[in-house]
Amino acid sequence: MKTKLRHWTFFFAAAAIAAPGCSDNADPVYKDASQSVERRVDDLLSRMTLEEKVGQMCQYVGLNHMRQTAVVLSEAEMKKSHAMGFYADCPPERIEEMIREGITGSFLHVTSVEEANYIQSLALRSRLAIPVLIGIDAMHGTGLVRGATVYPTEIGQAASFNPALVEKIGRETALEMRASGSQWTFGPNIEVARDARWGRVGDTFGEDPYLVTQLGVAAVKGLQGADFTGEDYVIACAKHMAGGSQPVNGINGAPNDMSERTLREVFLPPFEKCVEAGIYTVMAAHNEYDGIPCHGSRFLLTDILRGEWGFDGFVVSDWMDIERMQDYHTTGATLRDVYSQTLDAGMDMHMHGPDFYYEVLEMVRDGVIPESRIEASVRPILAAKFRLGLFENPYVGEEKTRGTLFCEEHRATALDAARESIVLLENDGILPLDPAKYRRVLVTGPFADNQVQLGDWAFRQPEENVTTVWEGLQAVSPETQFTLCDLGWNVRNITPEQVRGAVRQAAGKDLAIVVVGENSLRYHWKEKTCGENSDRYDISLYGEQEPLIRALHATGIPVVVVMTNGRPLSTEWVSENVAALIEAWEPGSLGGQAVAEVLYGKVNPSGKMPISVPRHSGQIPVYYNHKFTHHWFPYATGKSSPLYEFGYGLSYTTFGYGDVELSAGTMAPDGQLTASVTLTNTGSTAGTEVVQLYLRDKVSSATRPVKELRDFRRVTLAPGESTRVEFTLTPDKLAYYDAKMHYGVEPGDFEVMIGSSSRDKDLRRAVFTVK
Ligand code: BGC
């Protein structure tokens, strides 16, 4: 490894000194930063060979990644892998040559500045010295880079109902990405998660199209700024288009078989709004929609994306999914077939590997694909490189890395985000904990003291950067005598004997805090129970976790349960029996501190559920914005209602809602009106409430959901304080696809519901008429 690094340093230095590339005139327009991006792209394109053009559409995994993967995976295993790759007939040395030849456009899985700089140094030695675009899944901070700030995963961010916070996280993530050598994140994930069995729920902003849209747009603004010009912003990627978050059986990549109406009403709005907000890239989904793999869907990737929404960035494929059109979907017998299908659908960049390059090159040479089709894809890719400032400076200096990653400001945001993401689900009055009453506390469960709280898309971080629940508790309540009974992080391996050990340790304690949940860490690929490709048919607490809670409960001491998990977990018995239950999601680097602050009342919890929790996986799909007939009849056995509803979450204070007041009883289809309530903090602690506004179209030509979130506001009030919360209702909040699939507002009565959750009993109502 050392030798390799020296080798890289040499290249980097040599490339930096040598005049990059050898163009055919001294001052080509494309190298002149004072020229417009359009002129620079035109000039560069006019100088490029066909090989160089096709090369821009090709992405490869990082050189280090390739070398490491080749040692641990066979070729057959690698073909099936979604996280690791190498190229059997194209070793890293050949890829290095290809970079120097100027026929590689992009890389992913480059996780160190040294490697990023090295790859750029090779690219600058190519004929036209076109830098490469380095992509990474910076889903909640650039957590695949060691030393980065890891924020709560998207599902936790969503529980904050706080777009400004999500924008800030995006902004800081962009800075940390640029400081670690990447310029393109494969996020945000703006899929609407409608199946708790699906392992990637934690990757998303939850089940509601409106919330997902607001937070997705906020993330894009944070990541891209106004138009990502300069060296401080990155390009974002809306993924995965579309519908993979409601797979037929909960399995990642399984078909999605839904009506165009549901696709357009539920799954597409976040994409459309992110396009409107200027998102520059879109990733196609693994799944098929209506019998056509999304990677080959002209309907999705061209007709809707570019035709209807005017998208002018570029589309990237997901990991080897074009090849899977040949292997799994079998819509083509050869690679040529599927490459041709995807290009016809509107694909611009291939993730990842050399096959695409050689096949597509040949197809253009054979006249099957016109060169102009290639140029259409290359233009936006080159434009991004210009706007990101890569032609001026593709390198990252060590100082920038040191001063930016995990800096004080970013740590503060990560802590705030963790605080705001925590949802208090149950509290019999035990919280906030009184240290004078609970002096000796047992802390146990698989996730009390390790990095599982970082969630998916994070590699191991330096221990000193992560505050676990165990560490947080000691820092927040130094007067309490805490005892740790560590069960290890692997929920698959916890034994009944370990449970008995924890019970023995509970003797003489006043309280037990049990940290349970799921593990999404990708470096535990085969052990994790959640995250990418870790779907479950049973969403209860896995293994011995519930027996552990039951056994501790049976000792008679109060039990407080903290869950760290990336998907809803059905915990009916736990909910009904323990003293308190906290949903901490995957709270990131400083999550343990935030959990402890909530437990001891230093922070009043304000998070609300961004997704419903089923009681049982047999109820799935469970979402609040269902049609009335979804619950036409109750189940013959067991309850039909969810365990926790969308929008629900407790506080240490209470809030009172006044009646809903409307500015008028009627509204023109193109008019607007306001709906308002008076909110009062009726408790004795300061607190933050998320006021939620739902609408229902009472009679409609096509069926409508029983309610849909159409606005929300976070409001902080001192004890006894009141405020008026006002919402403006505009036609876009009432519009839908009518019986003839026309999008618009249908006249008639609409019900406005305002309150603290989507539960009927938490909502105040009023009706107005659209005339
Ligand atoms: C995931 C994508 C991700 C890509 C690159 C795929 O397996 O589905 O979301 O961006 O890998 O890591």
Q: Is the pLDDT of residue 13 over 80?
A: no
What digits encode the pLDDT tens for the residues 434-443? Answer: 999 999 999 9
Locus of tokens 């797979």: 247
pLDDT at 463: 98
Residue in 245, 287, 532 to alter for ligand 1 test, most ligand atoms within 8 A of Cβ:
532
Q: At residue 18, does pLDDT exceed 80?
A: no
H/E stretch holding 282 reads strand 281-284
Tell me, what's the pLDDT at 88?
87
Q: How far apart are alpha carbons 258 and 24 in whole angstroms?
A: 54
Measure Cα distances from 324 to 191, 234, 294, 338 in Å.
Answer: 21, 29, 11, 9
CA 678, 683, 686, 687 dihedral sign is negative
Q: How far is ligand 1, taken at its centre, from the CA of residue 170, in Å? A: 19
Q: What pLDDT does 748 receive?
A: 98
Output the CA 96–ligand 1 centroid distance in Å: 23
| Residue 1 DSSP symbol | -
Is 17's pLDDT higher than 50? no
pTM reported for the whole predicted model: 0.96
The predicted structure's pLDDT at residue 25: 57
The single-letter code of the amino acid at 253 is: G
pLDDT in tens, 693-702: 999 999 999 9
Task: Give the pLDDT confidence score for residue 75 in this predicted structure.
Answer: 84
Helix (H) or strand (E) holding 681: strand 673-681
Is the model's pLDDT at 716 over the cut of 60? yes
Residue 23 clears pLDDT 70, i.e. is over it: no
Other beta carbons within 10 Å of 641: 15
Q: What are the structure tokens assigned to 226, written together?
A: 């106004």
How many Å lie between the centroid of ligand 1 and the Cα of residue 283? 9
Query: Are the C-beta atoms of 377 and 19 separated by less than 8 Å?
Result: no
For position 444, what pLDDT does the model report?
Answer: 98
Task: Indicate whether 6 pLDDT > 70.
Answer: no
Ligand 1: which of 82, 185, 191 to mutate, most ligand atoms within 8 Å of CB? 82
Average pLDDT of the residues in 320-335? 97
Q: 51-93: per-residue pLDDT in tens?
A: 999 999 999 999 999 999 988 888 888 878 888 889 988 999 9
Distance 20 CA to ligand 1 centre (A): 33
CB–CB of 27/40 below 8 Å?
Answer: no
> Exposed e or buried b for every residue in 153-175, given b needs 16+ CB within 10 A?
bbbbbbbbbbbebbbbbbbbbbb
Is pLDDT of 1 > 50?
no
Q: How far apart are CA 436 and CA 438, in angstroms?
A: 6
- Structural contact between residues 381 and 105, judged by C-beta atoms closer than 8 angstroms: yes
The answer, yes or no, to whether residue 15 has pLDDT greater than 70, is no
Residue 5 has pLDDT above 60, yes or no: no
Give residue-wise pLDDT tens across range 402-417. Answer: 999 999 999 999 999 9
The rounded distance, in Å, linking the Cα atoms of 201 and 214 is: 17
Query: Exposure pattern of 576-608 as b/e (b: 16+ CB <10 Å)?
Result: ebbbbbbbbbbbbbbbbbbbbbbbbeebbbbbb
Give the distance (Å) from ligand 1 centre to CA of residue 143. Answer: 14
Estimate to the nearest angstrom the gap between the alpha carbon of 558 and the chain centroid: 35
Cis peptide bond N-terminal to 188, omega within 30: yes
Task: Name the closest-CA residue to atom 2, ligand 1.
Answer: 318
Q: Rounded to an integer, what distance in angstroms lies between the CA atom of residue 222 and that of residue 236?
A: 9
Beta strand 481-486 pairing with 440-445: parallel
Q: Kindly report the average pLDDT of the chain as a whole number.
A: 95
Residue 722: is its pLDDT beyond 60?
A: yes
Read off the pLDDT of residues 162-206 as tens digits, 9 standing for 90 and up.
Answer: 999 999 999 999 999 999 999 999 999 999 999 999 999 999 999
Selecting among 318, 348, 535, 697, the annotated active-site residue is 318
Query: Rounded to an integer, what distance in angstroms lies between the CA atom of residue 22 and that of residue 3?
Result: 29
Residues with a CB atom less than 6 Å from ligand 1: 82, 108, 137, 186, 239, 318-319, 532
Site to substitute for ligand 1 among 69, 134, 136, 137, most atoms within 8 A of C-beta: 137
CA-proximal residue: ligand 1, atom 11 (nearest): 319
CA separation for the pair 97, 344 (Å, rounded): 30
φ, ψ dihedrals at 749, nearest 5°: -85, 140
- Minimum CA distance residue for ligand 1 atom 8: 318
Task: Give the whole-angstrom CA distance, residue 466 versus residue 444.
Answer: 18
Which of 186, 456, 520 has the most ligand 1 atoms within 8 A of CB, as the residue to mutate? 186
Nearest CA to ligand 1 atom 5: 319
Nearest CA to 306 among 218, 387, 386, 241? Answer: 241
DSSP tag of 268: S
Tens-place pLDDT, residues 540-559: 999 999 999 999 999 999 99
* CA dist 199 → 187, 358, 567, 659 (Å): 17, 35, 7, 40
Q: Say yes or no to pLDDT of 618 above 70.
A: yes
In the chain, % of residues over pLDDT 70 = 97
Atom of ligand 1 nearest to the CA of 82: 7
SS3 478: coil
Mean pLDDT of 589-595: 98
What would the pLDDT profile of 249-283 be if each residue is shown by its tens digit?
999 999 988 999 999 999 999 999 999 999 999 99
Has 318 been annotated as catalytic? yes
Tens-place pLDDT, residues 281-322? 999 999 999 999 999 999 999 999 999 999 999 999 999 999
pLDDT given for residue 398 in this prediction: 87
List all residues 6 or more positions away from 568 whose beta carbon is below 8 Å from its beta carbon: 196, 201, 539, 611, 612, 613, 614, 644
Residue nearest to atom 7 of ligand 1 (CA): 82
Q: Residues 427-476: pLDDT tens digits?
A: 999 999 999 999 999 999 999 999 999 999 999 999 999 999 999 999 99
Distance 318 CA to ligand 1 centre (A): 6
Tokens standing for residue 268 = 């597409």
275 alpha carbon – ligand 1 mean position (Å):
20
